[in-house]
Structures are given as C-alpha cells and as structure tokens.
Structure 1
C-alpha cells in the first residue's frame, strides 16, 4: 500500500514536470506578467508556446522553425527580437550552418546539441541556458536563442546589433580645441571610446544589471592600480544595493548613489566627452556607464571640477588660468548680482556713487514695486523664457527666447513696471549663468540666487554675507564617496593646488590628487620641464659675456 502511494506520487510529480502550466493557471499565479523561473522544458512545441505566452505573442519576436540533419532530422528553432539582433548575422552565421548540418542516425539530441555549441554556431560567444529567466534576459538583450527538440536546455548566441546613433560631436560640452567625438546611447561603443584612449590591460570593466523590470546594463570602469580600492568598492556596493523597477538614464543612478540628497550642488560629475572621462580615470576616479544614455557619471566629484573646461588642458597654462578665473567670477556674479543690487538700492545707497544713485533713483521713481519684488518678477519671467526656449523646437526656441526677452524687457521698462538698471542686472546674471561650463553647477546657482535675494531684501549686505557663509559651510560638509567636496581647498593640500582656481604648466603636475588616488601617486617622470637646446644656451651665455 505504501509502495503504491509512493509510485502514484512519483508519477504525479513527473506529470507535473512534463506538462507546462495553462494560461489560466499562469494568470492566477501572476506568472503571465513575470518571467517564469522554472527550468526550460524538453519539448520544443511547449517551449515555443511559453515564449509566445510570456511575450504576449509580440510581432517583433521572430520564431524561425527548421529541421537539422539529413539522415536524421532534429526539429529546432531560432528566436530573436527584430531590431535588437543583427538579422544578417543570425541568418548567415546561425541559420545557414544549422540547416546545412548533417548528423548520423545514431547521434542523440544531446550530442547534436553539443555539436551545435562547439562547431556549428559561427558567432563570437555561445552560452548554455537552462532556466527561463536567463533565456528571456538574453533574448531581450539582443541575443539569439537556439532550441532543440528533446533537450531541456537552450543556447544563447551573441548577435547584438540593430540601428544605433553614430558618433557625433557632444552637444552640451563644446570645445574649440580637442576631440570631436562624443558618447552615444550604446554602452559598448562608449566603453570602446575609452579603450581607444587608454590602451592598458589595467583598465578594468565590470558590468551588472540594474532594474527589476528594465534590466539595464550598467558598467563600472576604473584603472586598477591608480584608483583607490576603497572608492571602487564603495561604488560597487551602492550600485549593487539598488532595488528599483527601471533605470532609463544615468540620472536615475545618480540620485540613488549620491552621498547627500538634500543639496543643490551635484556630488557626481556627468559628461558626454570621452576625453574628459579618460582624464578622470587617469586621476584615479571611477566612471559609471549606463545603457541608453550618452551621459557618463564620474565619481568622486569635487567642487572645483565643475569650473574646469577641456580647453584648459589643451591650451597654454597662462590662458587657461585667466579663463578659469573668469569662470569663477562668472559663477559668483550669477550667484549674487541681483542680491547686491537689492541690498545696495534698499539699505546701502551711500555705497553707490552719487551720479549713479541719482540715475537709479530717477529710473525707479515711476516703479511701484520695491527692488526685491522687481528683481523677483524679472528673474521668474526670465526663467520662464529660458524653459520655453529649451522645450520648443530648436528652430523656434532660440527665436522665442531672444525676441521674448527683448520685447518683454523693453515693454516692462516703458510701462514702468521695472527700471532699466534692473533689466541690465538680470541680463548680466543670465549671460553669466550661460557662461558657466557645467549646467549642473549653473542650475545650483539659479536656485541659491533666490535665497540670497531674499536675505538681501531682509538684511542687506549682512544677509548676503550670512548666506555665503552658510553656503560655504554646507559645501565644506559635503562628501563625494567619502572624499571632501572642497578638496584640495578644504582640507588644504598644497601639492594639489596647481589645478584649482588656476592651472600651472603640465610639467608641474607630478602627482595625482592625493585624496582620490592613494597608490600610484606619480603621474610623470622627473625633469619634464622643457629646456632649450645646448647650442641656444651657449649662444645666450656668450652674448651675456660680450
């Protein structure tokens, strides 16, 4: 009796293993929406039905059934997604060799499966799959699935392809001198652009998938031996700890791994220039690539890094130093210009030259609003025009923003709503915000500007000073993956001051940033300063003696 009960249980389990769940059972269990987690079935027809049910019989999922062998025919199928896989490679290197293959009568399906894996599939990478989750992950990644009848396994062939955007010049970080190539939405193309610049086996790359639904490929790249191992492990830890449905852009990753959320200042640097990423990798930083976006994250990021442009390192050091000073001045001007006007005209008129204060007073005589309301209205109107210019089509957006600013500014002055001096101050502030190299730091200044305007309206110059002190303390408290945000200014590191507010000649940069790279500090050899030829020195010495 006990033996008969065990035999019936064993037959029942075997039957459940062979028969796949019906559509009604899958809908009730929720597996019609999720990828099935059970092993692949041995029957080809059952496997194809599961693929059709799971993908909703989508029209872009191509299922090509065929038979292999001549003496003995083995039923098989190729499955790929149109647009994600390279259709030419699928038919040329997979379908044609498989259909032309011959097997002896004594060859079992298992041996045929091994023969296909080792000898017939003429593509770069072949991987054996035994579970449905791995099969659908490979299928939606652009690979081609090979199924044979009678085997509870599948083969995944690397046939990723499809149309992608060609390499073009970056749109957000233009350079007068420097490379013209920029990142695209293809992860592999982006990593290739870095490989072309850093031809070193110590350039390591690790890829993981983030997003429970999207399964987005995210890659971590760093130079082993230069990057700080603690920073690398911290980046990996934060990325592996992400549990989210979708990752569609690097901004989704940035918000989940940054050190401080409640701050207007960016603690991660993003760029679409491969030369910038390569330079940061050689300083010991870590690059984070996300499939589907041309913007690459760089960690850790420093405050002074957002005022550096690519031309600083391709031009002479004296020109680069002057331009960098100008950028810092521009940022400070975009931050406090309206606040200074409000404080000077409201509380500190004695600090303005007499003729200028008389002219400003004459202009403001017909203005019914105080200086703070006047500046606030003009700033809000200009932000509306800026947002409209960004959202409209490119051919129309620039014309709308320019014409709108001119017409509204002129009409507001003639109507007596604002003074001419306020229009000039707001215009200078807007141009200064456009001249800031990094959009991320420029938009931070736009937000802080309103807070400083409010403090200036309440306390004058004392309020502006209090606001700047609070901002400085906040900046000194920030960290980017454990690295002080204001370094090498705070903490002060004299050996790394050559590339901060000014830029010294290239031969001075003997060491990498100490708080970022702590292993291989030396970046160049000794005696790199250019020296004139010996003949020139001899002629100069003889000329001095004569």
Structure 2
C-alpha cells in the first residue's frame, strides 16, 4: 500500500510538472529599451539593489541600457568590461551605428565585449532569470533581443576542510556553497574528457542551478536516465539543500536508512564517479549526493584507501563493530539483566546486582532515561557555539551521570553502557547512518524489554527483511551480499591491496569494468 501511494504521488507530481511546463509561454521583449526597463522594474517592484544604467552607444544618440543586481555581480567587471567596452568599442567601430540595424548585438558579441560568457534571448523570463542569477543584461534600442553576460561575483566562503568528514590522512579541501567552485574541484581530480556535467534548474520560484556529474563510458546509461527523470519530477517552490532532493528522489521515503550518500569531500565524489556512480551538486550547499548507494558503502571512509591495506582493513572492522555496539549494546544489557541473568558470568552478575541495589526503575526505564538524556546533550552540543557546545557535552555528561548515580536513579553499569554506545556512534563515518541506528536502537531496546534476547532477534530479523527489500536506484541495499557479488567482497569487510582490485563494482553494471590493465603484474 505504501509503495502504491509513493508511486502515485511521484507520478501525479510528474504529470503536474509536465502540465505546468506545457502551459508556460515565454514573454517576448519589446524593441523599445525604455519599455523593457519599465517592464523589468514593474516585475521586480523596483528593488533597491536593482542597478539600471542607461546610456547611448558611443558618440551617437542610440539608447542602450545595462541591468544587473548589486551584490550578485562583480561591479568592476560590469563597469570595465561591459559598459566601458560598449561605449569605446562602438565609437571606434568601422561602420556607422545607423547601418548596424539588427546586427548591433552581433557587433557587440564579436568585436566589443571581452567577456567569455555570452548568450542571446528574446524571452523576458530568461532575461529576468539571468539578472536574478547574477548575470548582466544589455538592451539596445530597436532590437527585441537581449544580451545576457555572465558577471557573477557574490561573496562566498573560502575552501576549508569538511567539518563532518575530517580525516587524519587525505586532502583538506571541501565543497563550499558556490556551484562552479565545486565543479572545478571535480574537474581538477577527474581530467577525463568523458566527464559530463549536465545542468538542471530546480525550484519553480528559486530556479536554482543543479548539476548531474558522471563519466561517460563508465556509468550505466540507464542510471543517468533514471536520475535525470527523477530530478525532472521535483515540483517545489524552492530547494534549499540537497536534503530536499534526497527525500524527493529516493526509492522509499518511509525507510529510516539513507538511499543516497551525502558528502562534502570532492575526493570522495571523484572516486565514486570513476567507479560508475552519479553525483548531484546543488548551488548554495556544500553537500553533494551520490547515487546509488548501499549499506556497506555508507560504512566505508576515504581514509580506508589512503592508508595501507592492513590499516584500512582494521579501521573498517572497528567501524562495523562500532555499528553493532550502537544498535545492540543497550538492548543486550536490558535482555541479560531482566530475562537472562544466567548467561552473565557469576562475578559480573553479582557486581551488577550490587550496583543496581536501590535503583527504583527496571533496566528498560533506566536505559531509556539515560539514552534520552544523552541524545538531548548531543543535540544541545551541536546547536550551541563550538566552545560552549563542547563544554556542555563533556561537563553535562559527567555531572548528570554522576548525579544520577549518586541519587540512586541509575546504576553505574548503565552509565558505562550508554557512554560506550554514544562513543561508538561517533565512530561511524556517515552522519545519516548514525542517526538511523540511533533511532532503531530504541526499537531494539523495546523488543528486548518485552521478549528478552528473542525480542532482539525478532527486531534484527525485521531490520534485515527491510534492508533486503530496500533499493537505491534499482540497486539492492544489501549488495554485494544479497544478491551476492563475490567479486566485490575484496572491498567490503576487508580492504584488499589496490593491485588486487582490478575491476569496478559489479553491481553497478558499468560499461567499462576494468580499473587497470589486466595483463599487468600483481
């Protein structure tokens, strides 16, 4: 039923988008500069940051106008490369302005303007969109077309190390909120002429720039076609962040697990597109999306490949162990203490019983109280400024834990279990996976409180059933285990030496499977 509703929603939204697109007609421009200027002013309600510079072409009386938005453009470029060039270039032109006619814009394009980004349009919608995107429009009297000149120059954050994906060894640059800077990061790393960057506009009102990046000749063509199809179904006023896109185009919005991988690291995007995946970048956010993804890839880190294979394997195994602790440790404590004390060694059982003496709550209530407290402290630490947030997280945890034990509300062993669980969740490289496991941890705890170990096993089976049915752009989420691709096991739990990983992942069905020459010595 849920899948039927999901398909209907996406189908209906796709039909609505096509209907709206078919009903949109471009508003044509006038031949009068004054009428075009007034039309744009009325459309934008004459904002204070709208720059309109009206002048004459060269030493003639032929009207001309330049329109842009202050703060979105590089004003030095507008003054020196556009206005100044037009005035000087037309004055020194070989033929009189009266002889130009409709060829004025052509003369400006070829012989006057020295900027690299130039386009022409006869649509008022495209002209206004260009102005609001940071471009400059040039209107000339007697011509119902406009020159759109690329002049973007707004302030942006400098390139910094990603905060959410810090590495001990690896590149220190990360994506920023400027789309062209981000695509340049990918170009620097993938100098392949087959690298493709396809442009989209998303948001019916914001019309933000979005790009789809892949390597032609490696990626499966159907994957690119499916990604573009889903992106075209987006029907929102504004798309603030790639999280909007992720929720819209994922296979199942009911699943707690992420079906697209988000990252701030250009090296990670470059490595994945060379494997045969597709990257999605949006202007205004440093987070890129990678499709498709699997549960195993979400537990891997770029650092696994920057260190030697033995170290990468050890780090990866520690990460899988941390995921197990994050999901099951509090539930195992509840089940063993409440239902199966006989499975605990005698000395440890006596020690736990002595620490729980006087605690008024059963183990499940005790665990829920402490886990909820830890989640509150974690959230408070994230929202507060960095120096204060770190202090609140450390001091708050120590003070509350010590006070709870002293008051006899919780046992010391419970504090240790919750603390180890919290530390293990921070060892996971992907924030969305960490949140998913933290959510499911409460479900496993409730199952342990009701049925003990049997409840844990039942919830674990339910999670596996869900994972086995989950897909990311047609790729099963549990790949390469179910379905089984034994060739890809060398890069799952164990990170094999690079000389052994000669092929790309089999489940991506890439057109070019070889990563290196097969005839080369191992």
The interval holding the TM-score normalised by the smaller chain is over 0.9
Q: 1: distance between equivalents of 2:97 and 2:242?
A: 54
Q: 2: distance between equivalents of 1:441 and 1:114?
A: 55
Query: 1:134 is matched with which residue?
Result: 126
CA deviation digits over 1:185-239, x for unaligned, max 9?
1111111111111111100110010100110111001001100111111001100
CA displacement at 1:178 relative to structure 2: 1.0
Query: 1:379 is matched with which residue?
Result: 371
Residue from 319, 337, 342 that aligns with 1:345: 337
User: Are residue 48 (structure 1) and residue 37 (structure 2) matched?
Assistant: yes
Which residues in structure 2 correspond to 1:43-122 (within 5 Å)?
A: 43-70=32-59, 72-100=60-88, 101-102=90-91, 104=96, 106-122=98-114
Instruction: Quickly say closer, same or farther: Cα 1:306–1:106, change in 2 above 3 A.
Output: closer
User: Are residue 267 (structure 1) and residue 259 (structure 2) matched?
Assistant: yes
Q: 1: distance between equivalents of 2:265 and 2:213?
A: 15
Confirm or deny: 8 A CA contact 2:51 2:68 kept in the other structure: yes
Query: 1:304 is matched with which residue?
Result: 296
- Structure 2: runs of 5+ lacking an equivalent: 1-23
Q: How many residues align?
A: 495
Confirm or deny: 8 A CA contact 1:74 1:109 kept in the other structure: no
Secondary structure of the structure 2 residue equivalent to 1:497? helix
User: Are residue 38 (structure 1) and residue 30 (structure 2) matched?
Assistant: no
Query: 2:514 is matched with which residue?
Result: 522
User: Are residue 156 (structure 1) and residue 148 (structure 2) matched?
Assistant: yes
Calculate the aligned-residue CA RMSD, in Å.
Answer: 1.4
Larger Rg: 1
CA displacement at 1:493 relative to structure 2: 1.1
Secondary structure of the structure 2 residue equivalent to 1:403? helix
Confirm or deny: 8 A CA contact 2:485 2:507 kept in the other structure: no
Q: 2: distance between equivalents of 1:512 and 1:154?
A: 48
Q: 2: distance between equivalents of 1:105 and 1:438?
A: 62
Confirm or deny: 8 A CA contact 2:159 2:176 kept in the other structure: yes
Instruction: Quickly say closer, same or farther: Cα 1:273–1:527, change in 2 above 3 A.
Output: same
User: Are residue 388 (structure 1) and residue 380 (structure 2) matched?
Assistant: yes
Instruction: Quickly say closer, same or farther: Cα 1:472–1:77, change in 2 above 3 A.
Output: same
Which residues in structure 2 correspond to 1:383-532 (within 5 Å)?
A: 383-526=375-518, 528-529=520-521
Q: 1: distance between equivalents of 2:372 and 2:455?
A: 21
Secondary structure of the structure 1 residue equivalent to 2:56? strand
CA deviation digits over 1:301-344, x for unaligned, max 9?
01101111111101111111111111000000010010000000
CA displacement at 1:168 relative to structure 2: 1.1
Q: 2: distance between equivalents of 1:105 and 1:458?
A: 88
User: Are residue 290 (structure 1) and residue 282 (structure 2) matched?
Assistant: yes
Which residues in structure 2 correspond to 1:313-352 (within 5 Å)?
A: 313-352=305-344
- Structure 1: runs of 5+ lacking an equivalent: 1-34, 531-546
Query: 1:143 is matched with which residue?
Result: 135
Confirm or deny: 8 A CA contact 1:85 1:143 kept in the other structure: yes
Q: 1: distance between equivalents of 2:242 and 2:101?
A: 45
Q: 2: distance between equivalents of 1:278 and 1:529?
A: 26
Instruction: Quickly say closer, same or farther: Cα 1:529–1:361, change in 2 above 3 A.
Output: farther
TM-score, normalising length: structure 2: 0.93
The 4+ residue runs of structure 1 with deviation greater than 4 A are 527-530
